[in-house]
Amino acid sequence: MASESSDMTLKAIGVVRRGETTSDIVINHDLTEALDNLEEFSHIIVLYWMHQVAGQPPTKVRPRGRRELPEVGVFASRSPNRPNPVGKATVRLLQRQGNILKVEGLDAIDGTPVIDIKPYIPGYDSVTDAKAPSWITNR
Amino acid sequence: MASESSDMTLKAIGVVRRGETTSDIVINHDLTEALDNLEEFSHIIVLYWMHQVAGQPPTKVRPRGRRELPEVGVFASRSPNRPNPVGKATVRLLQRQGNILKVEGLDAIDGTPVIDIKPYIPGYDSVTDAKAPSWITNR
């Protein structure tokens, strides 16, 4: 199955520096110009490597680790312990200063390697009529 | 910068099989049960490896390759030619049959390696007040 995927090795493009209420995403200096125009967007998508997850990922998990909830397939969950531990977050971009992005709402621990930044495009990244079961939406 | 990201190698969990108007995502057989409960969601997030992209990624790109538009930083674009060629699509899940997901609106070529499937969670993955510049929203 993986025959067409010769080499899928990621490079860290930056790192998360966690603050009290906001986080800084510190992008590698050689990629500073690749951030140009990002400040025209109110929100960005951050892909990151959940590097603290260890061990063989389970096939089934309990949503948000809650023991009263039935197990579901790991691809039906947002558990960090998955075959490829890549996290995806949509966050508000508060400020860009050179190679540093200040964001709100990034649920990634300090030191998390960042692998991609994408602009959030309303209509392309959002769905108006999406349905989801209550076990995942009742937060 | 990459000191905390020891080994970031992805494994293909499946592959895109492109149809006329829909696509099938064929997940590796050993991960079939990891898809359980995904059919309770109307939309899913697909992360995939844009394996046909070659060469050193540029720092700046023209949005959607349009020559009349000014260059922007690659992280302010959705260009597939980026430091880590990971694509992210939000698509409608039409059907799950065993290890096969039939989806609508996946703009990935036939044979694309899939690296993650996540449920789309309204409110978590969507933003109601997001702003984006006209050069990216005018499609």
Q: What is the 3-state secondary structure (H, E, C) of B38-70?
A: HHHCCEEEEEEECCCCCCCCCCEECHHHCCCCC
Asked if B38 and B44 touch (Cβ cutoff 8 Å), the reply is: yes
pLDDT band at A139 (very low <50, low <70, confident <90, very high): low
Facing A59 at nearest CB: one of B34, B77, B112: B34
Neighbours of A121 (CB within 10 A): 17
The residue among A67, A132, A81 whose CA lies nearest residue B37 is A132
How far apart are the C-alpha atoms of A120 and B102, rounded to whole Å?
A: 25
DSSP 3-state assignment of A54?
A: coil
ipTM value: 0.93
The predicted pLDDT at position B132 comes to 96
Contacting residues of B for A136, CB less than 8 Å apart: 119, 121
Asked if B66 and B134 touch (Cβ cutoff 8 Å), the reply is: no
User: Is residue A37 within 8 angstroms of chain B, CB to CB?
Assistant: yes
DSSP 3-state assignment of A138?
A: coil
The predicted pLDDT at position B6 comes to 60
Neighbours of B59 (CB within 10 A): 17
pTM of model > 0.90: yes
Asked if B39 and B96 touch (Cβ cutoff 8 Å), the reply is: yes
Tens digits of residue pLDDT in A11-51: 999 999 999 899 999 999 999 999 999 999 999 999 999 97
Low-confidence stretches of chain B (pLDDT < 70) are 1-6, 139
Facing B33 at nearest CB: one of A8, A26, A73: A73
The predicted pLDDT at position A115 comes to 97
Q: Give the percent of chain A with pLDDT over 70.
A: 95
The predicted pLDDT at position B139 comes to 59
Contact B130 A41 (CB under 8 A): yes
Q: Is B81 exposed, middle or buried (0-12, 13-18, 19+ CB in 10 A)?
A: middle
Distance to chain A for B76, nearest Cα, Å = 5
The predicted pLDDT at position A4 comes to 47
Facing B8 at nearest CB: one of A4, A10, A90: A10
Contacting residues of B for A77, CB less than 8 Å apart: 119
Contacts for A103 with CB less than 8 Å, ≥ 6 apart = A22, A23, A24, A25, A44, A46, A91, A92, A93, A94
Give the residue from B3, B6, B8, B112 with the most A CB atoms within 10 Å of its CB, the best one to mutate. Answer: B8
User: Is residue B77 within 8 angstroms of chain A, CB to CB?
Assistant: yes
Comparing A1-10, A55-64, B53-62, B65-74, the range with the smallest average pLDDT is A1-10
Asked if A90 and B125 touch (Cβ cutoff 8 Å), the reply is: yes
Contacts for A52 with CB less than 8 Å, ≥ 6 apart = A109
Asked if A11 and A27 touch (Cβ cutoff 8 Å), the reply is: no
User: Is residue B54 within 8 angstroms of chain A, CB to CB?
Assistant: no
- Which conformational region is residue A76 in: left (phi greater than 0), alpha (psi within -120 to 50 degrees), or beta? alpha
The predicted pLDDT at position B2 comes to 40
User: Is residue B51 within 8 angstroms of chain A, CB to CB?
Assistant: yes
The residue among A85, A74, A18, A78 whose CA lies nearest residue A48 is A85
The predicted pLDDT at position B84 comes to 96
